[in-house]
Structure 1
Amino acid sequence: MPAVSKRRTASHNKPGTGVVAIPGRQVPCEQCPLRAMEVLRDFTPVELDFVRTFKSGELNIEAGANILLQGTNSAYLYTVLVGWAFRHKSLPDGRRQILNFAMPSDFLGLQGTVADEMEHSVEALTDMTLCIFPRDKLWDLFTKFPALAFDVTWLAAREEQMLEESLVSIGRRTAIERMAYLFLNLFVRAQEVSLTKGNTIQFPFTQQHVADTLGMSLVHANKTLKKLSATRTMRWKGRTFEILDREGLARIANFEFPDGRKRPFI
């Protein structure tokens, strides 16, 4: 990885980091599995040709490895091709607030490109594959491809929207409402990118991740989960999450389902 200002993120091929760069394009952009997903906008032939040159390779990440680090400046942006990650911000004493979760089609690292330094970290929840985009080519996207530039702006706005909902949950939703909202929101997002099977999904996170997302102690999160389970709208056993009553869970969460319009990815 080229030298960066501030502290550096983990090297793409540094032993023991769980981060391994794959040179070139292992999955050709023309055959990208994300393009087959109905919820995602497809590229025009000209846009696809640019994205093919924009992408410099792929990155394999082991679960638990850092993709981006708070306070660092990365030379790359990433699109999640396979796997889950979570964005989080840590206080000096180690307390952690999880901001949201990332899954296939999500874009990582834009904040570090625009602000020159990441204000949060991104950690892999599962083994992952990321598409790599050099940040120094981003200007070409903005100057030559206005539709793709709008897509990047849309992705940033969507990130802001998710943070708004997290703020509303922590500030105003009751404990059971915020947990219901988190589960249903993640399920619907995962369903859009074909990670669910019927009404079930294997969530890759633990109750501690849930507690750190919702601003709760682990004990409070466990008690809230039991109360939510008692409503018979959902079940979470081991890592298997199942929706038993979608509309009932949505009523508890005050959740509005997405309208199904196609959304962009890079």
Structure 2
Amino acid sequence: MVVDCKTCPLRKAEIFDEMTEEEIQFMGTFKVGETKLDKGAQILMEGARSPQLFTVLRGMGLRYKVLPNGRRHVVNFILPGDFLGLQSGVMGEMKHSAEATTTMTLCVFNRSDLWTMYRQQPQRAYDLTWLASVEEHFLGEALASVGQMDAIQRICWGLVRFFDRCDGLGLVSDEACAFPYRQQDLADAVGLSLVHTNKTLQKLRDRQVLSWQDGTLRFLEMDVARQLAMMEEDSAETRPLI
């Protein structure tokens, strides 16, 4: 059954801002349905003009860009609550691709209704602008990590950041969360070769900083991981849920 916006389970996560009754009612009309995807399914394709926008209700995926020589760079990992397709909605076509890493359920919105949001719900439209700004900030951090950090620092930065996002979504238990990705996906995200990524993960396991086994990421020494990643623990900033 399609999830009603009034009873959306994502709204219970502490990471998301509270919504007014008016906003909930509008989102109920903005949402046109849901789609379920199998593992490996394409969500959005670079260069495509998708007629739909999506919010991830369940599951995980990744955004990536393929270079002309066939090499791939993972832009970021997709988690529940992420809004997908804004590039297509504003720029006319996608500038990167997105695919499902696990089975996923997506809330579906018509791209043609996006401007209705700007006219009727300016606060919701501002939320979209805020999300785009946060994405820009993240890409700046990612570029700095690739350009200025060594392999151990990069991998710690990427995994700690992913863990913190999962924590805000209530997906962490006993310092562990699901990480259903391949080592190649992590390598493509932090700009390392697969061999270098494998050796670096082994060093972190040997130092008892973290473990990644059978799709589960566990931090054994989170304080050490944060120091290596040059990240401080701070209260997570709440974000809008579209």
Interval containing the TM-score (normalised by the shorter chain): over 0.9
Which residue number in structure 1 is paired with residue 8 of structure 2? 32
- The answer as to 2:62 corresponding to 1:86 is yes
- The answer as to 2:141 corresponding to 1:165 is yes
Q: Write out per-residue CA displacement over residues 158-204 of structure 1, whole angstroms, 9 at most, x where no aligned residue.
A: 11122112111111111110000111100110111122212112211
- The answer as to 2:109 corresponding to 1:127 is no
The aligned amino acid for 1:139 is: W
Q: Separation in 1 of the partners of 2:107 and 2:19?
A: 16
Q: Write out per-residue CA displacement over residues 127-158 of structure 1, whole angstroms, 9 at most, x where no aligned residue.
A: 00000011111111112212111111111111
Which residue number in structure 2 is paired with residue 20 of structure 1? none
Is the 1:155–1:265 contact (alpha carbons within 8 Å) kept by the matching residues of 2? Answer: no
Q: Separation in 2 of the partners of 1:257 and 1:149?
A: 30
Q: Separation in 1 of the partners of 2:234 and 2:91?
A: 30
The aligned amino acid for 1:187 is: F
Which residue number in structure 1 is paired with residue 169 of structure 2? 193
The aligned amino acid for 2:51 is: A
* TM-score using structure 1 length: 0.88
Shift of 1:258: 4.2
- The worse-fitting range, judged by mean Cα deviation, of 231-240 and 208-217 is 231-240
Which residue number in structure 1 is paired with residue 85 of structure 2? 109
Shift of 1:259: 2.3
Partner of residue 247 from structure 1, selected from 223, 229, 233 = 223
- The answer as to 2:132 corresponding to 1:156 is yes
Name the SS for the 2:200 alignment partner: helix
Q: Separation in 1 of the partners of 2:117 and 2:173?
A: 36
Is the 2:168–2:236 contact (alpha carbons within 8 Å) kept by the matching residues of 1? Answer: no
Name the SS for the 2:158 alignment partner: helix
Shift of 1:228: 2.0
Is the 2:44–2:97 contact (alpha carbons within 8 Å) kept by the matching residues of 1? Answer: yes
Gaps of 5+ in 1: 1-24
- The answer as to 2:187 corresponding to 1:211 is yes
Name the SS for the 2:57 alignment partner: strand
Q: Separation in 1 of the partners of 2:99 and 2:77?
A: 10
Give the fraction of aligned pairs with identical amino acids, expressed as a percent.
43
Name the SS for the 1:56 alignment partner: strand
The aligned amino acid for 1:69 is: M
Q: Separation in 2 of the partners of 1:61 and 1:194?
A: 23
Name the SS for the 2:188 alignment partner: helix
**Which structure has more helix as a fraction of its residues?**
2
- The answer as to 2:156 corresponding to 1:180 is yes
* TM-score using structure 2 length: 0.96
Q: Write out per-residue CA displacement over residues 208-236 of structure 1, whole angstroms, 9 at most, x where no aligned residue.
A: 11111111111111111112223322111
Name the SS for the 2:64 alignment partner: strand
Q: Separation in 2 of the partners of 1:53 and 1:82?
A: 20
